[in-house]
Every structure is written in structure tokens, then in C-alpha cells.
Structure 1
Amino acid sequence: MSTAKPAYATSLKNPTLYVIVAAALILSAAMGIRQTFGLFIGPFSFDRGLPVTLIAFAIALHNLVWGFAQPFAGAAADRYGAAPVVAFGATTFAAGLALAAAVPSSLALIVGLGLLVGIGVSCTTFGVVLTAVGRIATPAQRSMAMGIASAGGSLGQVLMVPFAQMVRESSGVSASLFALAFLMLIAAPFGIVLDRRHKDAAAPLAQGPTAVVSLRATLAHAIRHRGYRLLTLGFFTCGFQLAFIATHLPGYLALCHMPMGLGATALALIGLFNMAGSWACGWLGGRFRQQHVLGWLYLIRGATIAAFFLLPKSTLSVVLFAAVMGLTWLGTVPLTSGLIAKVFGTRHLGTLFGVVFLSHQLGSFLGAWLGGYAFDVTGSYTLIWGATALAGLFAALLHFPIDDSVGAPAEPAHA
């Protein structure tokens, strides 16, 4: 009884607490900035004469590039530490924003917001940043620590969306993108803190199912693991839902003749409520089976999307929708990464989460791009709203039967 409390306190002292704070600041910058992209669809279309489909494709492409780059970014962080990966990613991210701001062309938009931002985000978000938190936290507090870091990272969405809107309205699209690029560069030095180690927190790294197993054997074991495959398929849904809403909600609300600026307010509210939601999901993941929490989360999200689309639109309904979506927004990340760490250990967590996250980003690409494509073809978002709601049920059915039992893989030589 007396040892339980000190274990909890130790896990959130000094190095661990510093890592959580640094992770939250980096996530705030990276995730907050990418959540502003939906605000630029209208201005890019009207001011630069670019079709909505192309702008949506550029935003969707960064999700796709992020997904394919994430396993490599995670593997680099596993091998070399988070600091150099975060520094490289922040610089690349900022360069992509600056290119899109400085060169008003389709190619610059695709290379900047698509390719460079995608690479940058892969190095400055979950697969690198949260896995650093997962390594330094004790197993008992890992889910909670990741949830706190994710919750703190949501502060960026609360602040960045209104900031980008304010600069855009006062100084134009280019100035807004340059300002965001500068903020991304400021976040780079916090990557140094992620590589801190503490003797009490480092101990779990020498334990667990993957402590003495190579990456190749761990990947082979994960591919054979039915739960890992289901988790990978389910995370596709999360990406599809979030990317569609983040990219197209402001435009959809404008079509519904909602007040100007309500789209930016809704995105900021999603970030605000995500702070509570990420913390709550981390807390729940430490007390209940994480796959069951994920299943209920997807059911709630799908039902909320269906209700919002089918019911009459008002400022109140938009605010309520943003609040519930925020509570279920990024809580999937600490739960998913925590479940991977529970089953496979933390030694190759960055790589294993990166593979699962690739599925998430394939969904993100389709959610962002199909939203723009469906609108250009049909003049409506109806089909995509329906698909987004049904995807919640699909994901829930995948997550509830996941087996989270821990089994150590064997090296090929001993098989």
C-alpha cells in the first residue's frame, strides 16, 4: 500500500514531468498548426484561383506523406533519440509553410503543404514525441502520462486556429503562414528534453516482451498478432473522420449559412475539449482495457457525427458537436500507443506505432481528399458525412475483440 503512491509520484517528478511538458509544447505547435489548414481553403481558392479539389489534395497529401514517413521517423527516434528527429522535422515543417506562403502556385502548394509539411509532422508528433513519454514513464503510469502530454498538446489547437485567423484577416494568407512557420521553429529546441533519462523510469526499458528481441523479430510477431492487425485497421477510421472534419467543417458551415468565423471557433473548441478528452482517455486506459475504451470512443464519435448531420444546424448544435468531438478527438492516440506498448514493450514502440499510424494517415488522406472531391462533383458533403458516421461503428466492431495478452516473440534463430 505504501509503495503505490510513491511510484505514482516518482513517475511524474523531474525528468518525466519535463519530458511531458516538452512533448506537450512540441505537439501544441505541430498539431495546432496543421489544424489551421482548413481556414486557408477559401482564401487559396478565391485569392489565388486554385480549385478546392487541388487545395484539398495538398492537405490530404501531407496526411499521406506523414503516414508513410512515420515508421521511418519512429525508427530514427528509436535509434538516435528524439532531439535530432524533432529538429529536422520542425525545420522541414517550417520550410513547407514558407514555400506555400511565398510562391502562389499549385506546385508550391503541393510540395509545401503536402510533401514538406507531411515529413515535418511525422518527426514532431505522436510517433516520436509520445513514444519518448512512453519510454520514460513507468508501465503503471504510461497511459496517463501519454494522455497528459496529448491533452497539453491540444492547447496548440485552441491557440493556433484563432491566431492564424487573426493574422490572416489583418495581414493576409502569406503573413499567416510565415507566422506559423516561425512558431514551428521555436518549438524545435524542446526536442532535446525528450531524450532525458531517469534511472527509475529507465528500468522498464530493460523489461517487457521486446527487451532482448530485434526489430525484425518484433515486426514479424506484430504482423502475426491478430490484435495488432485489428488495431491497424481501426486506426484508419480515426484518420478518415478527423481529417474530413478538420479540413471541411468550416466550408460545410459556410454552406449551411452559419455565422462567419464559426468554423474557426468550432475547430478551436474541438482543441479545447480535446484537452479534457485526451486526459480522460489516458486515465481510463490505465484502469480499463484500452481496446474497450477505444471501442466505446468510436461508437460515441460515430453517433455524434450522425446526429450533427441529420439534425437542424444552429450555433448551439455546432458548439455541442465541437465539444463532443473534442472529447473523443485525439484520445485514441494514447490508448492506441499504450496498447501497443503493453503487448509489445517500448523498445521498438516508435516503429510499431509508426506502422499503425500509416493506416491512420491513409484514412486521413481519403477523408480530406474525398471531402473536396465529393463537393466538387456533387456540390454537397452528404455522402462523406454518411461514410464518416458509419466508420465509427466499423471501428468499434474491430476494437472490442482485440486480444491484449502479452506474448514475447522469439528471435528467428531460436524459432
Structure 2
Amino acid sequence: MSPAERKLSMAQVLACGAMIVTLSMGIRHGFGLWLQPVTQAQGWSRETFAFAIAIQNLAWGFIGIFAGMLADRFGAFRVLIGGAVLYALGLAGMALSPNAFIFSLTAGVLIGAAQAGTTYAVVYGVIGRQIDPARRSWAMGVAAAAGSFGQFLMVPVEGFLISGLGWQQALLVLAVVVLLISPLAFGLREPGFGGGAAPVKREQTIFQALGEAFKYPSFQLLMAGYFVCGFQVVFIGVHMPSYLKDKGLSPQVASYALALIGLFNVFGTYIAGTLGQKLAKRKILAAIYLGRSIAIAVFLWAPLTPMSVYIFSAVMGVLWLSTVPPTNATIAQIFGVAHLSMLGGFVFFSHQIGSFMGVWLGGLLYDRTGSYDIVWYISIALGVFAAIVNLPVREAPIARGAVPQGA
């Protein structure tokens, strides 16, 4: 068996991929805890902080396209190493930024680029190439669940570091911790990558693959739905701690709420990945988006107490990143795995445009109106929209050489 034909063991791919996503996603899920300490210490508005995180999400999505191309061509290992180094530099720069512009470059561009090279698009490319299609959706669910466990694990740790060391020192500690991604990347070093060899036979060039995907209506619908996903989760993740504090609840409630989202998303993403092997993924996605809208509406309608926050967080946790496995598995099912990281990167870019809008509008409208209510209502409406647009998605493998049919 040639090096290009050998595959990594599923246990190795899942273990290393899960730990990498745990670190990368776990750290970024806690950024909302820094909003008030940073803005109060620096004398900045919430919009200033929110804009930097919005840039981070946009940079993550845009650079993720090219990170996916590099990972598909040269293997995930090199991309992961580079991403880990950028992550450490970004966290350190975030702690030491003397003004809002530098903060936007470090917390925004650097960390966004780092996340592009250390999260789902790159790791899912390895899963798609190394794991049998019969278990692909399930394996993607396991990796997404690991990212959720990272949120459950890391958010309380980050809150503890901020309270014990101060917000700047806490970021410097995390800058050292995130470098653990580098040794873990060796476990995702795929046979056949290196010296120009690639383990996946490519029937298309990059431009042919992109042309095919963007002309295919189902790809466009997946991008539209993922835009909504990004808008909702990043708005809630970044602004909910401040929303709860504005309503008179303690900072501990916000930390526990974010941790609960991470804990219950472990189950949600695993279940979504498992169901994706049995049910139509488009229906799973529609149910998730509609469920989010219902959960937000009930949360806003019910009296706000710590218990209502925890219940909302648990429900949203089940629905949080559970869109990730069925979305990426659908892309692989339609287009194959040769360009999976790149195509997943384009869909994720749409997600990150939504993330930019959600986090930035949250800060902007709060500063203008003194309330987050408008953005909550937008989130509800967008969830209904995403549920509708996912239902027509066609999941069957595309017929190469044929004119794409309507969704």
C-alpha cells in the first residue's frame, strides 16, 4: 500500500482533532467575559470591543477559505502549526494593545486568522479524507462535541483566570496554553501529503470546484442558513454576559450560562452528527434553526431569573453548534471530499459574515438605544428564515458534467 493510500486511524484523528478544537473553540467562546473588564480599563465603548470581535469573525471566515485551500493541498498539519502560533501572538497582543486600533488588529485579524487554521474547516477536511463516509457525519459530530466541551471546560477557567490574575495576565496565560495545538497537530499529519503528493484524487481544479458549487442552488441555501447561525451564536456568546449584568444578575450567572451552553452542546452536536447518518440533514438543520427562534422568544417573554437563564442556556446549548456536522456532511455528500476544506471554508465565511453582523450590531444598537432588544428580535426572525431556506436543499451527490438542477 502506497503512502497516499494509507489512512490514519479513526481513534487518532478523533482524539487529536477533538483536543485541537477543544482548545481553539474553548478559548474563543469565552471572549465575552472580557468585554466589560477591557472596556472599563481602557475607557472604550462596547461598540469598540464588539467591532474588534466582529473583525475577528470576518477575518476567520475570509482567511478560512485560503486555510482550507492550503489544507486540501498540503495537509492540515502545517496549517495547524501556523494557526497555533498566530493564536498565541493574537492573545498576547490583545492583552498588551495600547489603543483600539491595535486591539482590532490583534484580537481581530490575528486571532481570526488563527481560528481559520485551527478549527472546523481544517479538522473536518482530515475527517472527510480519513474516515469512511458511512461514519463521516457521526465523526464530525464527535469533533463538534469536543469544541462544545471546550466551551464548558474553558469558559469557567477563563472566568477564574480573569478574577484571579486580572484580564491582561489571563490572556497571557492563554497565549501559552494555546501552543499545545502544535504537538497535537502531529496526530493529524496525513500520509501522502508532502513533496507535492496528495492522498485524494482530484477530478477538478480549485476553480472548477468553486464554479460548480456556486452555481448549485443547494450550496447557496446552505450558505444562507449558515449566515444566520453565525449571527445568532456570536451575538449571544459575546453580548449575553453584559445583557445579564445590565439586568442585575451577577457575573457568575453569565459564566455558568456560557458553560451550560458548552456542556449541552456536547450532546446537541453529537446527536446532530448521529442523526445525520439516518435522517435528511436538511430537516435536521431546519429544526435546529426553528428551535433557536422559539427558545429566544420564550427567553425574552419569561421573567428573567438565574434559573430562566440556565434553562435557556441548556436549550440553546443543544442547538448551538449542532448545525456544524449536518452542514459539513451535506457539503461532503454533494461535492465529495477532494475540496472539502475549501468549500467548507466558503460556507463558513458566510457564517462569519453573520457573526460580524451579530456582534457588531449588538454593540452598535446597544450604544444607540441602551438595549439589546432589537437584535434579539432580529435573531428570532432570522432563525425562521434559515429554517425555511434549508428545507429545499438537495443532498444527493452532484452529477458531474451535468447542468445543476434547482434546489
Structure 1 segment 30-179 matched on structure 2, within 5 A: 30-179=24-173
Task: Using the TM superposition, give the Cα deviation of residue 213 of structure 1 relative to its aligned residue in structure 2, in angstroms.
Answer: 2.4
Q: What residue is the counterpart of 1:244 in the other structure?
A: 235
Task: Using the TM superposition, give the Cα deviation of residue 197 of structure 1 relative to its aligned residue in structure 2, in angstroms.
Answer: 4.9
Q: Are the counterparts in 2 of residues 93 and 120 from structure 1 also a CA contact under 8 Å? A: yes
Q: What residue is the counterpart of 1:362 in the other structure?
A: 353
Alignment of 1:183 with 2:174, yes or no, is no
Q: What residue is the counterpart of 2:296 in the other structure?
A: 305
Residue 237 of structure 1 aligns with an amino acid whose one-letter code is V
Sort the Cα spacing of 1:323 and 1:197 in 2 relative to 1 into closer, same or farther, 3 A: farther
Residue 140 of structure 2 aligns with an amino acid whose one-letter code is M
Overall identity of the aligned pairs, in %: 40
Structure 1 segment 274-313 matched on structure 2, within 5 A: 274-313=265-304
Residue 131 of structure 2 aligns with an amino acid whose one-letter code is A
Q: 2:400 and 2:186 mapped to 1: Cα distance?
A: 32
Tell me how large the CA RMSD over aligned residues is.
1.7
Task: Using the TM superposition, give the Cα deviation of residue 108 of structure 1 relative to its aligned residue in structure 2, in angstroms.
Answer: 2.2
Residue 126 of structure 1 aligns with an amino acid whose one-letter code is Y
Residue 271 of structure 1 aligns with an amino acid whose one-letter code is G
Alignment of 1:391 with 2:382, yes or no, is yes
Alignment of 1:212 with 2:203, yes or no, is yes
1:339 corresponds, among 323, 330, 333, to: 330
Q: Are the counterparts in 2 of residues 19 and 196 from structure 1 also a CA contact under 8 Å? A: no
Q: Are the counterparts in 1 of residues 289 and 387 from structure 2 also a CA contact under 8 Å? A: yes
Structure 1 stretches of 4+ with a deviation exceeding 6 A read: none
2:400 alignment partner, SS class: coil
Q: What residue is the counterpart of 1:26 in the other structure?
A: 20
Q: 1:50 and 1:206 mapped to 2: Cα distance?
A: 49
Q: 1:180 and 1:366 mapped to 2: Cα distance?
A: 27
1:124 alignment partner, SS class: coil
Residue 269 of structure 1 aligns with an amino acid whose one-letter code is L
1:331 alignment partner, SS class: coil
Q: Are the counterparts in 1 of residues 91 and 172 from structure 2 also a CA contact under 8 Å? A: yes
Sort the Cα spacing of 1:220 and 1:382 in 2 relative to 1 into closer, same or farther, 3 A: same
Task: Using the TM superposition, give the Cα deviation of residue 14 of structure 1 relative to its aligned residue in structure 2, in angstroms.
Answer: 7.0
1:352 corresponds, among 318, 325, 343, to: 343
Q: Are the counterparts in 1 of residues 23 and 181 from structure 2 also a CA contact under 8 Å? A: yes
User: When the two structures are superposed, what TM-score results if normalisation uses the length of structure 2?
Assistant: 0.93
Q: 2:46 and 2:98 mapped to 1: Cα distance?
A: 15
Q: Are the counterparts in 2 of residues 95 and 116 from structure 1 also a CA contact under 8 Å? A: yes
1:407 alignment partner, SS class: coil
User: When the two structures are superposed, what TM-score results if normalisation uses the length of structure 1?
Assistant: 0.91
Task: Using the TM superposition, give the Cα deviation of residue 214 of structure 1 relative to its aligned residue in structure 2, in angstroms.
Answer: 2.3
Task: Using the TM superposition, give the Cα deviation of residue 215 of structure 1 relative to its aligned residue in structure 2, in angstroms.
Answer: 2.2
Q: Are the counterparts in 2 of residues 344 and 408 from structure 1 also a CA contact under 8 Å? A: no
Q: Are the counterparts in 1 of residues 8 and 130 from structure 2 also a CA contact under 8 Å? A: no
Task: Using the TM superposition, give the Cα deviation of residue 411 of structure 1 relative to its aligned residue in structure 2, in angstroms.
Answer: 10
Task: Using the TM superposition, give the Cα deviation of residue 406 of structure 1 relative to its aligned residue in structure 2, in angstroms.
Answer: 1.4
Cα deviation code 1:61-104 (max 9, x no counterpart): 10000111111000000001001100101110110110111233
The worse-fitting range, judged by mean Cα deviation, of 63-72 and 147-156 is 147-156
1:15 corresponds, among 9, 28, 41, to: 9
Residue 206 of structure 2 aligns with an amino acid whose one-letter code is L
2:242 alignment partner, SS class: helix
Q: 1:298 and 1:103 mapped to 2: Cα distance?
A: 37
Cα deviation code 1:349-371 (max 9, x no counterpart): 01111111110000000100100
Task: Using the TM superposition, give the Cα deviation of residue 165 of structure 1 relative to its aligned residue in structure 2, in angstroms.
Answer: 0.9
Listed as ranges, the gaps of 5+ residues in structure 2 are 1-6, 193-198
Q: 1:290 and 1:135 mapped to 2: Cα distance?
A: 20
Q: Are the counterparts in 1 of residues 8 and 190 from structure 2 also a CA contact under 8 Å? A: no
1:261 corresponds, among 248, 252, 258, to: 252
Residue 124 of structure 1 aligns with an amino acid whose one-letter code is T
The worse-fitting range, judged by mean Cα deviation, of 188-197 and 67-76 is 188-197
Q: Are the counterparts in 1 of residues 83 and 115 from structure 2 also a CA contact under 8 Å? A: yes
Q: 1:338 and 1:355 mapped to 2: Cα distance?
A: 14
